[in-house]
A and B are shown apart, each in its own frame.
Chain A
């Protein structure tokens, strides 16, 4: 049985320093990760979830299909779940707040959307173009946790109750559900406080017993009240993480340094906090959950927000050194020392943190949607590839994917069934189908907005939206201030490379005919001369090559895709649709449905990652060329087409190397790119870990936007990461492959 409480597991007479406590906590985390990996792992974020077999929870459905729908079922089930949720407690930790499960995932897989609100007509289009519609997907917008700090759970409950009195019956279902949930949360936190007090009496180590007693006091304070100290504020964040995750895997953190700065400054002034303690507390926060936080960046007026807390947060992440989703916002008035420090940690720890976002590109883009510069600057990094104004927006970020490659395949087949094939004609047909796909996706988003409350109301994140409680509606029913709906294209590089390969090899060079190529494609390049022709197409001018045909086609696709997505804003006034390019971890899934393609890709192979070019885009794998190409395909409306970059640590092993990398990162961010998800990966180590994942249970990689333990990933996903690493480090790899071959 997995343990969830660790009372009297440490020697009774030992006194632990903060560093020793962090080391012990980290070691336990690595063990837990190893266990998770042995149990099958998962192709996603770690979330700080604890795998255990102590607590089992079963939903009480309110529908014959076994699922739960609407305010009442979600609030009742959640309240019951929390009511019985056991306490995970490690007395060496500064906080409690570990969770075990996501309630939304307990629903039957095929019954997430309420069947009383069908969209069968759209399903056909979604299937045809392999669209992930986002219908029923939850959270993926950012709460403003400052609301929680300002009101506390008790204040939120009071507000809910007073507002209920002001609203008519039509809002009571909303208020009753929220009141039930918050009441239960306060009760739960008080119970936790009681349990901690009991455990403190059982713990024989004096230091740890006192720690448990202090935790009990802190939890009592934050059960209903507003957090008053730095430690209480972080304990509040830990519980928010656990409570929102447990409900529906709820979303990201926000601007951590600014949220904690007032508490830090007050406590330091009062002499009740030291920097060492602050670092320890934040290290424990990062251990508790791999939630996204932004550090640094400009305030609304453009003034840099980097503070002492920003530095300490980096130090804390360095000490715990696990999967930390920290983003540094690069801007013109940036604290240069802080930036350099962050690059040093990036290369020192090689754990995929921090990553970097570009204030200039993001602000300029978001303002094109009609928002003020002040609002644009408040849009913080909050997810794998996305930004959000905390407490102001509903976004469906990263939940909607249009398979640009499947759309290409539909167009290609239509062209080949007619006469006189050409890339000009193909692009016309492609545009027609892309328009259909985008329009259907837009209708899907509107359907989701209209009926999501009947499926899955956002009972936790609703509470941290500005003005929502006063409106008395779920966030999808008008509760948000802004609706900025994310719509990502996936598979851009493969589609662009396919157009380029056709134009170059058939039309410009006359190496073969459309009919000849088509026969090979239908045979999956496995017919006579198939592999030879595949190599011909594969080595055409690719996207990422730099001013190549592939780059030109990628830009053309970007332009029409952006235009079609933006067209939806006129069709649905009040709703802002924002285009981006990202696949998340759907690269394998979205490739499966597509046959062989003209760029030499074989049937079922994955699509490219996000906005990145396909592996082998240039013989020298030049990072600069790749980043320039990605900069050219930014849709430019405030959402991202991220650069996913894998760098060998050997290139920054001294001060000069760090300076070069800092300049590289800054230039990537200043040349039109929006977000840099970066891994520092030793090619040897990743290849070895791919062969034997459990050899490196602590190896963390940034898989897409999120970081994850490499050992937790499936072989397919590990292969994708390995492919990306070798794609931009081909010279070293050529030698390594050569050495391996020689050894054989």
Chain B
């Protein structure tokens, strides 16, 4: 059984406790405009083009059967409407200017890669993080992978939006040691507006899951999620939640900008800058009177 995986990132330090390997699934059910992993949104492979790596060999022009590679005013561009995402051009692009995001992998293949760093997980309290995309859109495969990791003595965390009904996600969560769940917006309408989905399931799951340690996170997006009202409402929701390790305020991550360019996708947050240290602390201060542990940053 194979599954489409966007990437495997070893020595991952910001995706949970300790030193981790993060497995990025491909395909997400939300469409958050600020997403820094736009290549993981679609459930099918995507063609990414990095012009700075292009050596102008022209091989892709002849490899492409539909003429999607075009020279326009001396610039190499891709006609995305024509492109069938067949990957032929990437197979002959040795400079890796053209790459397909997403490759089919088996549990064993992923596990082999994951096991390379087991000594680091053991020493640091780390493990594997199943991320996305949205891992809950891939529960069967993810559960198999999580089970295989456990058999190797490797702890498993998920990064998720918890947006699917509990019954659907239970098979995976029973194999998970830590849930890192994002709740972007407390207000349902606002949530729908900015992510394309209701937050009803997310909130229900956050409140009802009591047997797995949880970290709840909110990415701070200026004018959208980063408001006092939103953060206080989410923090208030978490008060008294016994399996909550902490509530984390994540700074805006601008590292997705080059990926948007490589996908020729619109990036409506291209000019947004991360908050500075002082501003981040101020967000933490807004929640100082709420009786939960708040972590600011990363």
Contacts and interface: CB of A to CB of B under 8 A. Distances in A.
B95 interface: yes
B212 to A, nearest CB: 21
A628 interface: yes
B190 interface: no
Given A529-B57, A532-B94, A651-B13, A628 B124 contact: no
Interface stretch (B149-157, B198-206, B229-237, B250-258): B250-258
A660 B11 CA distance: 10
A737 B17 CA distance: 29
A622 B10 contact: yes
Contact of A660 (B10, B19, B117): B19
A656 B296 CA distance: 13
A132 interface: no
Interface string B96-127: 10000000000000001100110110111110
B11 A622 contact: yes
Contacts of A731: 255
A638 interface: no
B210 interface: no
Given A531-B57, A628-B116, A735-B255, A667 B10 contact: no
A472 to B, nearest CB: 51
Given A532-B55, A532-B59, A625-B10, A735 B257 contact: yes
Contact of A532 (B14, B57, B122): B57
A682 B224 CA distance: 31
B243 interface: no
Interface in A308-347: none
Interface residues on A, range: 35 or more
Interface string B249-272: 000001101100100000000000
B120 A624 contact: yes
A529 B96 CA distance: 16
B18 interface: yes
A164 B129 CA distance: 71
Nearest to B261: A738
Contacts of A735: 254-255, 257-258
Contacts of A737: 52
Interface in B156-207: none
Interface in A612-664: 619-620, 622-625, 628, 651, 654, 656-657, 659-660, 663-664
Contacts of B29: none
Contact of A664 (B14, B19, B57, B112): B19
Contact of B124 (A529, A623, A651, A663): A663
B139 interface: no
B9 interface: yes
A532 B92 CA distance: 10
B119 A670 contact: yes
B269 to A, nearest CB: 14
A535 B55 contact: yes
A625 B19 contact: no
Nearest to A731: B255
A734 interface: yes
A284 to B, nearest CB: 35
B84 to A, nearest CB: 24
A547 interface: yes
Interface of A: 529, 531-532, 535-536, 538-539, 546-547, 619-620, 622-625, 628, 651, 654, 656-657, 659-660, 663-664, 666-667, 670-671, 731-732, 734-735, 737-739, 741
14 contacts: A535-B94, A539-B95, A539-B96, A620-B11, A622-B10, A624-B11, A625-B116, A651-B13, A651-B14, A664-B123, A664-B124, A735-B254, A735-B258, A738-B52
